[in-house]
Each structure stands twice: as structure tokens, then as C-alpha cells.
Amino acid sequence: MMTDNEKDVEFVNKYVKLAARMSNLLKSKKGELLIAVKIKGEGKGYYWSISDRAFVLIERSADFYWVDKMPKDEKGRLCLFTPYTFGMGNIILVEEEKIEWLGYN
């Protein structure tokens, strides 16, 4: 049986590994940081998900990052990445005028 101290150490080790994996989602393959952005407005909105190939309901207050290596689509929308827990994320298209640029933070 594990002691409380051993359980704490195991928890911290798993947390550190998860945090490291999540931080890697915020970098390009070359290790460059992605630029943080927000979607203007409040509440939720439907946005085209490249990953799901469908419109998905997204909370506008979520954390987003501009994927600058992806060109604008035929409608002029930019590609944003939003990380989720456990290494999953979503890539959506958003009109440039609806994006608030935060920079590196």
C-alpha cells in the first residue's frame, strides 16, 4: 500500500508530465511560441473546425493561439488553435476582424 507521501510524489510527477505535454501544444514544430489571441465578444459562437470538418460551439473566452503557418482560407479567415486537456485540441477558422491580438504571454 502506498503512503500519503508516495501518493503525493506520484501525483506531482504525473502533473509535471501533463503540464510539459500541454506546453508543447503551444509551440510550432520548430519550437517557436504561438501568438496568443482572443475572440472578440462574449458567450459562445459557432466556428468552422478544421479538425472536425464541421461547425463547433466554442466559448469565446477560451485561450486561443494563432497558427501563423496556415494561410488564410478562401473567405479570409485565420486559423486558431485552442488546447484542451489531455493533449487534445481544436483548430478553427475565425474572421480576422473578430480576433483580439494578445501577443506572447
pLDDT of residue 4: 65
Strands 77-83, 44-49: parallel, antiparallel or unpaired by DSSP? Answer: unpaired
Give the mean pLDDT of 37-57: 91
Cα angle 82-88-92, degrees, rounded to a multiple of 5: 35
Q: Greatest CA separation found in the chain?
A: 59
What is the pTM (predicted TM-score) of this model?
A: 0.68
pLDDT of residue 83: 78
| Cα 44 to Cα 58: distance, rounded to the nearest angstrom | 5
Q: Which residues constitute the domain of residue 73?
A: 4-103
- Domain total in the chain: 1
